[in-house]
Structure 1
Amino acid sequence: MEKKDAAVGKHAIPNQTLEIEGPQLFGHPRGLMTLFFTEMWERFSYYGMRALLILFMTAPLVNGGLGFDDVTSGAIYGLYTMGVYLFALPGGWFADRLFGLKKAVWYGGIIITIGHFTMALPGLLHLFGDQSMPKGELTGLDLYSFFAGLVLIVVGTGLLKPNISSIVGQLYPEGSSKRDAGFSIFYMGINLGAFIAPIACSTMAVYDWHLGFGLAGLGMLLGLVQYRVTGHHLDGVGEPPNAVTAEEIGQKKILARWATGLTGVAAFIVLLFFLGVFTVDAPRVAAASNNIILLVALLYFGYLVLFGGLSVVDRKKVGVIAILFVFTALFWSGFEQAGSSLNLFAERFTDRTAFGWEIPTGYFQSVNSLFIIVFAPLFGSLWVLLGRRNLEPSSPLKFALGLFCLAIGFLIMYFAAKVAASGQLAAPTWLVLTYLFHTFGELSLSPVGLSLTTKLAPKKYAGQLMGMWFLSIAMGNLIAGRIAGVAGGGSAEALQDMPSQYLLIVWVTAGAGLLLFFLSFPIRKLMGEVK
């Protein structure tokens, strides 16, 4: 989802002609291309591995997978994708206060690369080392390398993802009319990486799952090399904050000690897990994490409204953000099933044969990015055209439209599931149409949510409320993984229940969209848009 957040809804600031200093390429800072390719390769690594993740976990041992059941696999998938967004919060915080944005991107990329190669380790050892390694049975190396790789990717992405976007913004002077165009170019690189990666990594996974993970790591490695070679084009942007006074230097040292200590504690806990001192029940952890995120959100918004020292106007705006937090989490809980339950549907119940060749399942994960590349400019133009005629929907209505599109996508999946439950393979057209409507929903909601959060957030809480936006996405990803555990059709009973599961999602998302439609007028009053 984050790969398209700034692809639409960006309009140039009128009457601004601030000049960009330093070397340029096609009117933009040369550093933009450095960040373009770094992010492209990072997204290549992320979406390439994500296309394989739940398929690898649920694949039988004899097929080189982990042989986990759907519930466990869905919970691990949800916890992983949740962690990617949660760790963006401390990742941005440490970069701002300790080592700077530029180094955060570098360190994050290194950790991501190590994570992917760690996941690829069993396959690489078998391919290039001991050919007698056991096949069809789960070894300690399989499990340790898999979980260690996931942890490293989460930590690395938390460092890289929020900070590279911040550097893009800092390349341009405040108020520059080219900033929005620069972000559009940057996000096109994201979508390009997300489109190519599932095809490339899934092709390698046909031969060995771990080769697919390894290719994802190779992509991140290429991004790191490019970042190091062309990093001088950033012209000092993203350097560490300067500590001038003795007090500032002391505070920075204290932060560094805390960061080192927390990292050490976390590493020790992970080590204890790998040593078998304790075990983790992924479904229970996922359920508990869901409750914790919801509780944190309730407490934070309650504190802000009651004790945040806000004016009446700002309290109303925070209330709007809190309302949209719920609808945002609901949207992503459906949309992010692309990599979980819908991925399993493509694997198990879709006719993927074309001209005598079986299309790798992961190829379907590129469909959404392709639609984004095609339709994002059209949606941007549509909003501009409607705006000129005073017909552009309000932000809450765009949210509602996103939920309706999501519901239509799952209604299509309801009929596809009916075909699968009858014992036949569904045509791939069902999935493609589902991804099409989900893309329409994303383009209606995602950019609007980001923009609205920055617009409504009181200045002194702007960073924290942007963090709450990411928290809502994290919660949605976690729920999506948990849904996949019951909607994946991994057993005969689950297959028969699949149509009703999808229909339930249709009713929930359509009902939420209808509720938001009726709430749009009072929400606009809270926002101060109508009297």
Structure 2
Amino acid sequence: MEVSNQKIADKHPQGVPYLFLTEMWERLSYYGMRALLILYLVSELHFSDEDAAQVYAVYTALVYLTPILGGYLADRYLGYKAAIYLGSSLMLLGHLSLAFPELPFFYLGLGLLIFGNGFFKPNMSTVFGKLYRNKPELRDSGFTIFYMGINLGGLIGPIICGSLGEGKNWHYGFGAAGIGMAIGMIVFYFGSRKLPASLWERTAFVENIQSGEASLQPVDTHIKERIALIGILSFFSIFFWMAFEQVGSSMNLFALRHTDRNLLGVEVPASFFQSINPLFILIFGPIVAYLWSKLAERGKNPDPILKFVMSLFLLGFGFLVMVFASWEVASGLKAGVLFLFAAYFWNTMSELFLSPVGLSFVSKTAPSRYAGMLMGIWFLSTAAGHYLAGYLFGWAGKFSDLSHFFLFFVGTSWGAAALLFGLWFFLRKWLWKLN
């Protein structure tokens, strides 16, 4: 009987599949649209690289900035379910707006997607984290599974939307993203009805019932340390995202302009290469999740700071590969696809060591009455990284040799890794208090 109970205890919460599938369909729509965005701007609207970079930078930054507002409103007023429904509806309208060819509909669609994502993204992550309140030991592996849902959508989206957008009509691709969002809303409607009502309660409301005026209690030193740890890791995640998000801009155009994409006499659409990263996530995600679980059983699971250090170190290797690929281009040749596969491999391993770990850490460490807002802070750092990624992409054309552009990200990644590792010796005592 003890073995049977232990097996039951080791299982993930029953709500995981519903939230997994909802996130998968929403990410299918997002990554399908993102795979087309920079290509549409430069190929169809004939934006210069610099102007396209500004649109891309502002859009991807605001997509991750609005979660601060969405998380706060969900915490204090809307509740998580209402916020997720509101965000889904706005994003659906945004994708459908992009399906119209007129430029005003294009900008309207981007705006709706920005605000919709602000309500959807932080609250889905917060609700998923709440599933593990009674199973904290499974939280890291649980968020890696959740992350696989994100990347399953990221794998399918560019293939579907890219085939239609690049191959048929750009607006067919944007419309297909809207259909994916609609399916996600249907999945969430039926799945959310099977989850406990307590999962959707506003954090502030629950605390006031349990502890009176909880929001008026002073913030003690331990809470300040927890908030500071979230802030520090959020800051260093900026270095990750400003490099990693070259995937949608400079690396996307590198695939379009400088990569030999012929396969058996057929030219593969550039947008398809956006699916390499999520494909690797699906392959290696379970392995990394298993690794964390096994290391946790032996008491050797690296703490989140060390995982971030390893992530930034691996990220540098990915851009070192792009330096080598740029040397091929400088010699007058087109780079082979293996360069992009190798770069995406290292970037994927880096992502698995940081992004799901960061989501898990914030949901676990944030004081409950600030949960949604601090998840928004995590996405604020992501917004900063995405803006810098787009802004820096605009400078790529100013380099006579692309290898110098990609070498910059090798330096920032390894430099940030070294600095964070140095800080770890001072911060690890705060981490010990969390256990």
Same-fold call, TM > 0.5?
yes
- Residues 238, 380 of structure 1: CA spacing in aligned structure 2 closer, same or farther, 3 A cutoff? closer
Task: Give the 3 Å change call, closer, same or farther, for CA 481–102 of structure 1 in structure 2.
Answer: same
Structure 1 residue 427: deviation in Å?
0.5
Match of 2:214 in 1: none
Is 2:380 aligned against 1:380?
Answer: no
* Offset of residue 385 of structure 1: 4.0
Match in the other structure for 1:42:
26
Q: Distance in 1 between matches of 2:296 and 2:204?
A: 46
Q: Indicate yes or no: 2:112 matched with 1:208.
A: no
Q: Deviations over 1:282-314 (max 9, x none)?
A: xxxxxxxxxxxxxxxxxxxxxxxxxx9655555
Alignment root-mean-square deviation, CA: 3.3
Determine the structure 2 residue equivalent to 1:276.
none
SS for the counterpart of 1:80 is: helix
Please name the residue that 1:94 is paired with. Answer: 73
Cα displacement (A) at 1:348: 0.9
- Provide the rounded CA distance (Å) in 1 between the counterparts of 2:78 and 2:417: 43
8 Å Cα contact 1:54/1:340 also seen in 2? yes
Aligned CA distance change for structure 1 residues 458 and 73 (closer, same or farther; 3 Å)? same
Q: Distance in 1 between matches of 2:292 and 2:12?
A: 26
Q: Report the alpha carbon displacement of residue 82 of structure 1 after superposing the two structures with TM.
A: 1.3
User: Secondary structure of 1:121's partner?
Assistant: coil
The alpha-carbon distance between structure 1 residues 33 and 310, as it changes in their structure 2 partners (threshold 3 A), is closer
Q: Residues 201 and 426 from structure 1, CA distance in 2 versus in 1: closer, same or farther, beyond 3 angstroms?
A: same
Partner of 1:158: 118
Map 1:124-523 onto structure 2 (within 5 A). 141=102, 143-169=103-129, 174-175=134-135, 185-205=145-165, 206-228=167-189, 232-234=193-195, 236=197, 311-312=220-221, 315-387=224-296, 391-454=300-363, 457=366, 461-487=370-396, 489=397, 494=399, 496-523=400-427
* The structure with more radius of gyration: 1
The 3 A distance-change label for structure 1 pair 451 and 33 is closer
Identity score, percent: 43
Structure 1 length normalisation: TM-score?
0.71
Give 1:41's aligned amino acid: W
| 1:118 to partner: Cα distance | 0.8
1:524 counterpart = 2:425: no
User: 1:236 and 1:450 mapped to 2: Cα distance?
Assistant: 23
Q: Summarize deviations over 1:47-87 as a string: whole Å, max 9, x none.
A: 1001111111111xxxxx11111122112112111111111
State the 1:517 CA deviation: 2.5
Report the alpha carbon displacement of residue 115 of structure 1 after superposing the two structures with TM: 0.8
Distance 1:77 1:48 in 2: 15
1:115 to 72, 94, 108: 94
The separation in 2 between residues aligned to 1:436 and 1:469, in whole angstroms, is 25
The more displaced of 320-329 and 35-44 is 320-329
Check conservation: 1:195, 1:370, Cα contact below 8 A: yes
Question: Which runs of 5 or more structure 1 residues have no equivalent in the other structure?
Answer: 1-13, 20-25, 60-64, 123-140, 249-307
2:345 and 2:364 map into 1 onto residues whose CA distance is: 29
- Structure 2 vs 1, CA of residues 193 and 170 (structure 1 numbering), >3 Å: closer, same or farther? same
Kept in 2, the 8 Å contact 1:409–1:435? The answer is yes
Cα–Cα, structure 1 residues 114 and 513, in superposed 2: closer, same or farther, change >3 Å? same
Structure 2's unaligned 5+ residue stretches are: 210-216
- The verdict on how the C-alpha distance between 1:169 and 1:408 changes in structure 2, with shifts beyond 3 A counting, is closer
In 2, the alpha carbon distance for the partners of 1:95 and 1:318 equals 19
TM-fit CA distance, 1:179: 7.1
Give me the whole-angstrom Cα distance separating, in 1, the residues matched to 2:130 and 2:224: 30
The structure richer in helix per residue is: 2
Alpha-carbon spacing, 1:118–1:520, altered in 2? closer, same or farther (3 Å): same
Q: Contact (CA 8 Å) 2:143, 2:357: kept in 1 or not?
A: no
Once residues 40 and 249 of structure 2 are traced to their aligned partners in structure 1, the CA distance between those partners, rounded to angstroms, is: 11
Tell me how far apart the structure 2 counterparts of residues 182 and 388 of structure 1 sit (CA, whole Å): 15
Q: Partners in 1 of 2:127 and 2:360 — Cα distance? A: 18
Q: Contact between 1:98 and 1:240, CA under 8 Å: does it hold in 2?
A: no
CA distance in 1, matches of 2:227, 2:137: 29
Shift of 1:195: 0.9
2:62 corresponds to: 83
The 1:230/1:352 distance shift into structure 2, 3 A limit, reads same
- Tell me the number of residue pairs that the alignment of Structure 1 and Structure 2 aligns: 419
| Letter of the structure 1 residue corresponding to residue 159 of structure 2 | I
For normalisation by structure 2, the TM-score amounts to 0.85
Hey, what does 1:130 align to over in structure 2? none
